[in-house]
Amino acid sequence: MTTSAVTEKNSFMKVLSNIWELVKKIPPVFPIFFVLFIIVSLLSPTYSTANGVMAFLRRTAPLGILAIGQMIVLATGGFDLSMGSIVTLVCLVSSLLLANDEANTYPTIGLMLLLGAGIGLFNGFVVTFLKVPSFIATLGTMLAVRGAALYWVGGAPKGYFTDNFRMWGRGYIENVPLVGRFPIGLIVLIVVGLISWFAFHRTNYGKQILAIGDNVRAAKLSGVKVRLVRMSAFMVSAVLAVIGGVMIGGYGGVNVSIGEGLEMDAIAAAVVGGVLLGGGKGAVVPVVFGAYTLEILFSMLNLLGLPKPYKDSIQGLIIIGAVAYVAISQRKKR
């Protein structure tokens, strides 16, 4: 009898430990986000309404998209510092090219996407063929793109965004059952997220990116076309920066420093979402939640009545903490 009790207890413990194993596999960013979200909705009733939640998701969508792009480059072991400048370029130059004519919207967006792809190609070329470390290569393009954008528009934003351009960042689909209004930006994030998720987790591409970031030599000896994959990663990141840029412009409006520092925000979101600098680790959904976590944190600080600038300090603590947590738990595993 005692033995059976013991085994029963053991099997119970086993179930518990199995559950614990599963729980441990959940990226910490999910529980953190939900805890913060609950706190925020307790603090402010708007966050428990569909409208409030949708507004939050609309606001966060561009950073989510940028973070996905940044994550893909980070996973190969690189950096993309040119993202913020690409956003600036998109906002400034589009406002000029749109010329207040709705008919210009889609040609303009198309042109921006092409420009973005070109910038990404340049970054990739400089890194893979000229062997400049991506930190420096994309720092160079960051300056060049920002300078070019300002030069193009003559130093100050010109013109306005057309309504059908703004729609992507701030528009809603009205009268949606259950939630009422559904932000178009969120649809863009979902579409981009799904495509990225599919490419990253359900095609060879993502696995090759992770393999390169983890061990370039092994990847190469296993037949991975390292240069092609690496260059494409920079292109994806730049194109996503363009998409994010269209939405950011639409949401807020134009000013010359609109994209400044966004590359760092995107890196922070990716890192909070569990991406390792140096490559080899990354996943789309946690990274999007990394962006959500940073945003909800800022909302919470606002609601707590802390002065706005403190959000920077908290963001700083969070990213150091996130990486220290990974570093320490890695050391324990060994």
Partner 1 sequence: MTTTTANGRGLKKFFRSVSIPPVYYFLIVIFLGGGLLDLFYAGGQIFGNTAIMLNILVRSVALGIVAVGQTMVIVGGSIDLSVVFVISLTSVMSSYIMQGETSNVPKAILLVFLMGAGVGLVNGLIITKLKVNSFITTLGTSLIISGIINSTFSNWAGSVPRSFEFFGYATIGPVPFSVIILFLMIFAGWFVLSRTKFGAHLYGVGGNEEVARLSGLRTDRVLIIAHIICSLTAVLTGLFIVSRLRAGAPWVGPDGYYDLESIATTVVGGTLLAGGKGGVWGTLAGVLIFSILDTTFNQLGVNPYLSIVFRGLIIVLAVASYTIRSKKEAA
Partner 2 sequence: MSEEEKQKMVNEQKPLMEVRNITKKFPGVVALDDVSVKFCPGEVHAVVGENGAGKSTLMKIMSGAYVPDKGEMFLEGEEVEFSHPVQAFEKGISIIYQEFNLLPERSVAQNIFLGREPTVLGVVDNRRMREMARNILADIGVEGAIPASKLVGDLSVAEQQQVEIAKAISLDAKILIMDEPTAALTINEVKMLDELISRLKERGIAIIFISHRLAEVFEISDKITVLKDGKLVGTVQTDEVTSEGIVSMMVGRILDHYFPPLGSLEDFGEVVLSVKNASNDFLKNINFELKKGEVLGVAGLQGSGRTELAQAIFGVVPFKTGSISLNGKDQLIKSPATAIKKQMGFVTEDRKSEGLCPQQPIRDNILLTVRSIQTMLTPISKDGIRRSPDLVPRLGEEVDIRTDSYDREVQFLSGGNQQKVILSKWLASEASVFLFDEPTRGIDVQAKASIHDMIRDLTKQGRAVLMISSELPEIIGMSDRILVMHDGSIAGELPPESSELDIMLLATGQNGNNGSIKSGAKGEN
**CA 80/CA 236 separation, integer angstroms:** 11
User: 50-75 and 184-201 helices cross at what angle (nearest 10)?
Assistant: 30
Looking only at residues 114 through 143 of this chain, which bind partner 1 when binding is defined by CB under 8 A? 126-128, 130-137, 139-143
- Output the smallest distance, CB 135 to partner 1, in A: 6
One residue of 31, 110, 118, 147 binding partner 1 per CB under 8 A: 147
**Contact status: 219 vs partner 2 (CB under 8 A):** yes
| Pair 119, 86: CB distance under 8 Å | yes
Whole-number Cα distances in Å, 51 to 60, 121, 176, 179? 14, 40, 11, 7
- Output the smallest distance, CB 215 to partner 2, in A: 5
Nearest to 63 by CA among 45, 46, 83: 83
**Contact status: 237 vs partner 1 (CB under 8 A):** no
Q: Which is nearer to partner 1, 10 or 313 (CB)?
A: 313
**Contact status: 77 vs partner 1 (CB under 8 A):** yes
| Pair 162, 102: CB distance under 8 Å | yes
In this structure, the chain runs to a length of 334
- Binding part of the chain for partner 2, among 34-42, 153-161, 198-206, 235-243 by CB under 8 A, reads 198-206
SS3 7: helix
Q: Choose the contact partner of 78 out of partner 1, partner 2, none; CB within 5 to 8 A by kind.
A: partner 1
**Contact status: 329 vs partner 2 (CB under 8 A):** no
| Pair 93, 112: CB distance under 8 Å | yes
Interacting residues with partner 1 (CB under 8 A): 76-79, 81, 126-128, 130-137, 139-148, 150-151, 155, 213, 216, 226, 264, 267-268, 271, 277-279, 306-317, 319-320, 323-324, 327-328, 331
